[in-house]
Structure formats: structure tokens, C-alpha cells
Chains A and B, each alone.
Chain A
Amino acid sequence: MSANAPAIGQPSRWILPAALALVLISFVAAVFLGIVDIPARDVLSALTGTGSTEARSIILDIRLPRIVTGILAGMQFALAGLLLQTITRNPLADPSLMGVSQGATLTVTLFLLFTVYLANPDSYSVNELPIAWLPPAGMIGGMAAGGIIYLLAFRLDLSPLRITLCGIAIGAVLHAIAIGLIAGWGSARIEIILEWLSGSLYARTWDHALFLLPFTVAGLGMLPLIYRPLNLLRFDAAVARSFGLSYRRQFSLVLLVSCALAASAVGAVGPIVFVGLIVPHLARFLAGRHFPLVLPLTIVLGAVIVTLGDLVGRLAGGPEEVPIGVVTALMGVPVMLALLRRVP
């Protein structure tokens, strides 16, 4: 930007490279550290395809897939949150505003309920549950909830306030139904739901990473297309339209991208939606007036926060690891409060 000379003391040059370096560091740390102590040399040989079968299995089949899944999900949650906060002009927006996590919770609950009773009425058959189908089931629910809220708000002209109010109302209903089902269900299978609900990277496989990858790629691929409209969607509708933006079309497109990113991520790792709330704030704080930095910083920090959060959860909990959703919420709240102190 030629007309926008960088102010002195603004960390605009080094902040993105620093954040990228942080991704690499957290990735390496997450690969090398874990509850099973594997010497660094064995980790390296496992990565190159040699070494003991046990080390190879832990690194290649357990740690790497969960790290990659976490990175993809983190980027998706953070990006979804930024898009939603930007277009609704609501700093407290996260993917649950569009009912994505509540809708996903409901369909995952329904899915488990029905498959269990259709397949096997024995209430202790946890291992036979079709867990591989949870990501698509959750994603469909998330998208459906987002779609319902969109249609309700669309009828009422898509004002950000309407979207927020519709989102809260629909989200609350879906959540209540899901909790009601879970409460009335009461059996060993509840553990699967609870683990999924808290947002977890436990036992995530390459299948989860592969499930997410197309959404991550498509979401990032959409960015050049929505980048300029996103700038204009920060204004209210009258101003954005006066500047030549087809407000309705572009708003809907960005909303769709946001919901698809969030719903697929929720399906794969459960509602770690706090990442979507907190990371954009962190990115905005670091970028200051350099708005063009906010978008890349959000994506990169989303990967970092989830990777580090999961590592902390793995190391802190011992064999009974602390779910990533709990870690991000506990770590995120102080960050959020500190950032909010800047808001008048």
C-alpha cells in the first residue's frame, strides 16, 4: 500500500515470519514430545521409515495424523471465526453463532442413537459403533443448522443483528434437543458423545485428516475470491453497496465458506469453537492497523493454538489426556479477557 506508510514501531515485517516459525516449532515439538517417551533419534528414524515398529506406529499412526488433523481443524475454525466476525460485525461471533456446533451435536447424537438401536440393542457395544461416520454426520448437521438460520435471516434482509438473534434462538433449540436426547439415553455410549462434545483430537487418524483436507484447500482457495468483498463487508450494507458491492451475494458466499469450514471441522474433531472466537482477536491485536496481516495471521495462529493446546493436553493429563477443547477454553479465557481490556 503506497498511501499507507507503515508507522514506526509496528511489527508488520517480522510478525508473519515469526508466526510461521511458531507453526514449525509447535509441529516439531508435537511430533517429538508425548506421553510415550521416544528418544529423538528413534523419532527421526521412524519418520524416515526405519526404526522400531513400536516407534513407527506411535509416530506415523498416532501422533502425525492427530497433529495434521489438529492443524487443519485449527486453521478452519480460526478462519471461519474471522469471516463470521467480520461480516456480522460482531466481535463475539464464532461458528456456534450460526448453529454449526449445536446442529452437529444434534446429528451426531441422533446418528449414534439410531445406528445403535438399528444395529445392536446391546448397550455395551461401544466398539462396534460406526465412529468413522461421525465427521460427515456432524458436518451435515452443522451445515443444516447454518442453512436454517440463513434462511430465517434472509427472509428478514440478512442484517447482522437478525442473524445473531436467529442463530442464538435456533442454536439453543438444537442444543436443548441434543442434551435432552443424551440425558434420556443414559448408557455406556454416552462417553463417545461426551468425548466428541468436549472437542478432542484423541484417536484421530489419517482418515480424519483426509476428510478435512479438501475443505481446508477449498476454503483457502476461496480467499482470493472473497478478499476484497470481505474488506467491504466490514461496512454496513448501505455503505458497502454504495461502493459497488453486491452485498447479499457476497455476504451469502462468505457465510457459506465460513459454515463449511466450521461444520467440517466440528464433524472431525468436535466443537473446539473457542479457537474460532479467540484466534481472530489475537491476530487483530498483533496486526494492529495492518489489516492485510489479520487474515494470514489468523490462519497461521489457528494451526499453532490447536497444535500447542493439544500438546499441553497430552502432556498434562498423562494417559487420561485432557481434551483440546478444554485446554483451549482454559488457555483462551485469560487471553480473551486481556484483549477485551483494550476495548472501550
Chain B
Amino acid sequence: MPLTCSHLSVSYGRRRALSGFSLSMEKGEIRALIGPNGSGKSTALQALAGLIASSEGRAEIEGVSVASMSRRAIAKKLAFLPQQPVAPDEMTVAQLVRQGRFPHVGLFRSYGRKDEEAIAWALESTGLTGLAGRTLQELSGGERQRAWISAALAQEAAILLLDEPTSFLDIGYQVEVLDLVHRLSRERGVTIVMAIHDINQAIAVSDRISLLEKGELRFDGAPKALSESGLVEKTFRVKGTFVEVAPGKPPHFDVELTKLNRSGP
């Protein structure tokens, strides 16, 4: 299996951010991590990427413990895009995307044809070919987010971890990113884990969903089973119903905005 973890626990000082988290990914699977703010989604992704040490349990890529691999070896197999990454303003899109090839070229090897092809593909997949020479400062928020996704794609890793890739994007770009995620999984067999806030997007795009609350795994399974569990309402402390939009399609979560009273003028 490309990516697994079992009983993974992470603490920041005394605060336990993740306890006993388990996950096992099939090749080409899309997994959504959902949960309230501070439920441990980002922590789980960072622990999977080997960026923070776990106090218990371990993450494995193809059966090899992430903690035992070098950063370069991990980066060849796993690309991780953190939430709101920062790059120097004067860096261009092309320069950013080129950095994604570092795990392949290392310190000395020059960029070969394969590297240039990967960069071109990454730019094209995110619709940035025409903007390659622009600096990140000159881009809109959506374009900048796509540039980062493009850099992660240039790594050509079989596993892609995304931390809220659609936040701060308008609905058009949100759909575009989700569509790209879907294509990567189905056409290239990329295994994808992403933290995401929009429950309906999570249900629509993912094969399976992990629901986290206070660092603990509350649910692990198919979107449909989640919609029938009543856990979403309970975990997020909202009222709402799952509505069937069309037969055979994933249900849509319709949240009740009880605090709003729009009847009066």
C-alpha cells in the first residue's frame, strides 16, 4: 500500500494534537480529512509527510517507515503542500515550479529533458504555462495557490498531501482544483490525502473520508456511510440534513442557519 499509518500520536508540548490516528490508502485513492478547526487535520498531514515526529505509532510509505527515510527520498515519493505556504515575492512561477525537481536533480545533476517535461506538464496541468515568467507577487490568490500545486506536481510523486488546497479560492478555482485532484487520481493513479473544510466538496470528490475531532478519529469510511451516521451534525455542532440531489450521486449536506432570521426588514 502506498501510504499507511497506525496509532499515530503527536504532541506539541503538553497538548496532544493527534492521538492514535490510523489510515491506510489504496493506490489512486482520494481521501478527505475533515473536522472542526484544531481537530488535528494539519497535524495528521504533517506527521504523514514526516515533517513532525510522532510520539507513538508511525507512518509508512510502501511499507518503509517515513522517519527512517531522508527528506529527498520522501520527496521523490510524496509531495506535501502546506496551508498558505510562503515564497519570496520576487520569485517567478517557473522558478517556484523548478524547485519541485530538487528531489530528482539533487545538488549537482543538471536539469535534463525529463525534468523539463515534468515542469512543463506541471505548469500546463494548472493552467499556468502563460504565466510562467510572472513573479508570485504579480499573481492573484488563486493563481498563486495553483503555482504551489504546480510545484508539488513537478515532484511527480505518487502520493500527494494537500492542506486545504481550496481555501481562499473563489468557487471557480475551487472546482478547478478538485477537478485536477480527481484527474490526477484517476488518470495517473496518484494517491491523494487532503484536508478540506467544505463537507460537500469532500463528499463529492473523495473515495473515503476520515473525520477528526479533538485529535481523534471519529469516522473512517465511504462518504455515503458518513452521511448516514449523523456524525457530521454532532461533530460540527450544527443542524442539517443530507439531501439526495440525484440518484447514484453523493448526497448534499444542507446546513440549517438557525441563528439567522431574515424574515423581518
Residues of chain A touching chain B, judged by Cβ–Cβ distance below 8 Å, are 1-7, 89, 224-225, 228-229, 231-232, 234-236, 238-239, 241-247, 284, 288-289, 291
Interface residues on B, range: 35 or more
Are B102 and A3 touching (Cβ within 8 A)? no
Are A234 and B88 touching (Cβ within 8 A)? yes
Q: Which residue of B lies closest to A231 (CB)?
A: B99
Q: How far is the CB of A245 from chain B (nearest CB, A)?
A: 6
CB contact between A244 and one of B90, B103, B108, B132 (< 8 Å): that residue: B103
Are B85 and A239 touching (Cβ within 8 A)? yes
Assess A224 versus B108: contact at CB under 8 Å? Given A4-B133, A239-B86: yes
A residues less than 8 Å from B133 (CB atoms) = 4-7, 289
Q: Which of B89-105 contact A (CB under 8 A)?
A: 90-92, 94-95, 97-100, 102-103, 105
Q: How far is the CB of A149 from chain B (nearest CB, A)?
A: 24
Partner-binding segment picked from B10-18, B57-65, B76-84: B76-84
Q: How far is the CB of B229 from chain A (nearest CB, A)?
A: 33
Are A289 and B71 touching (Cβ within 8 A)? no
Are B95 and A291 touching (Cβ within 8 A)? yes
Q: Which residue of B lies closest to A5 (CB)?
A: B133
Partner-binding segment picked from B115-123, B164-172, B232-240: B115-123
Cα distance, A228 to B110, chains bound together (Å): 11
A residues less than 8 Å from B70 (CB atoms) = 246
B22 interface residue per 8 A CB criterion: no
Most chain B CB inside 10 Å of its own CB: which residue of A7, A225, A243: A243
6 pairs, CB–CB < 8 Å, chain A vs chain B? A225-B107, A235-B87, A239-B86, A241-B51, A243-B100, A245-B102
The 7 closest A-B pairs by CB, nearest first: A244-B75, A244-B103, A244-B72, A4-B94, A3-B94, A242-B80, A239-B85
B201 interface residue per 8 A CB criterion: no
Are B103 and A3 touching (Cβ within 8 A)? no
Are A239 and B82 touching (Cβ within 8 A)? yes
Cα distance, A6 to B94, chains bound together (Å): 12
Are A246 and B71 touching (Cβ within 8 A)? yes
Are B76 and A244 touching (Cβ within 8 A)? yes
Are A236 and B107 touching (Cβ within 8 A)? no
A residues less than 8 Å from B151 (CB atoms) = 243
Are A236 and B86 touching (Cβ within 8 A)? yes
Cα distance, A234 to B70, chains bound together (Å): 20
Cα distance, A1 to B133, chains bound together (Å): 10
Q: How far is the CB of B107 from chain A (nearest CB, A)?
A: 6
B residues less than 8 Å from A224 (CB atoms) = 108
A residues less than 8 Å from B102 (CB atoms) = 228, 232, 243-245
A residues less than 8 Å from B49 (CB atoms) = 242
Are A3 and B116 touching (Cβ within 8 A)? yes
CB contact between A234 and one of B82, B87, B108 (< 8 Å): that residue: B87
Residues of chain B touching chain A, judged by Cβ–Cβ distance below 8 Å, are 46, 49, 51, 70-72, 74-76, 79-82, 85-88, 90-92, 94-95, 97-100, 102-103, 105-108, 116, 119-120, 123, 132-133, 135, 151-152, 155
Q: Given A232-B102, A242-B51, A242-B75, output 19 extra A-B contacts at Cβ < 8 Å.
A: A3-B123, A224-B108, A229-B107, A234-B88, A235-B86, A236-B86, A238-B82, A242-B49, A242-B79, A244-B71, A244-B72, A244-B75, A244-B103, A244-B155, A245-B71, A245-B72, A246-B70, A246-B71, A289-B90
Q: How far is the CB of A223 from chain B (nearest CB, A)?
A: 12
Q: Which residue of A lies closest to B103 (CB)?
A: A244
Q: How far is the CB of B42 from chain A (nearest CB, A)?
A: 10
A residues less than 8 Å from B132 (CB atoms) = 3-5
Are B74 and A244 touching (Cβ within 8 A)? yes
Q: Which residue of A lies closest to B46 (CB)?
A: A238
Cα distance, A289 to B88, chains bound together (Å): 11
B residues less than 8 Å from A242 (CB atoms) = 49, 51, 75, 79-82, 152
Q: How far is the CB of B208 from chain A (nearest CB, A)?
A: 24
Q: How far is the CB of B189 from chain A (nearest CB, A)?
A: 21
CB contact between B99 and one of A2, A4, A232, A288 (< 8 Å): that residue: A232
Cα distance, A232 to B82, chains bound together (Å): 15
Q: How far is the CB of A2 from chain B (nearest CB, A)?
A: 6
Q: Which residue of A lies closest to B120 (CB)?
A: A3
Cα distance, A300 to B92, chains bound together (Å): 24
Are B103 and A243 touching (Cβ within 8 A)? yes
Q: How far is the CB of A96 from chain B (nearest CB, A)?
A: 23
A residues less than 8 Å from B106 (CB atoms) = 228
A residues less than 8 Å from B88 (CB atoms) = 89, 234
Are A284 and B99 touching (Cβ within 8 A)? no
Are A4 and B82 touching (Cβ within 8 A)? no
Are B82 and A247 touching (Cβ within 8 A)? no
Cα distance, A242 to B135, chains bound together (Å): 21
A residues less than 8 Å from B155 (CB atoms) = 243-244
Q: How far is the CB of A295 from chain B (nearest CB, A)?
A: 14
Q: Which residue of A lies closest to B96 (CB)?
A: A235
CB contact between A291 and one of B76, B90, B123 (< 8 Å): that residue: B90
Cα distance, A284 to B151, chains bound together (Å): 24
Cα distance, A46 to B75, chains bound together (Å): 60
Cα distance, A316 to B76, chains bound together (Å): 59
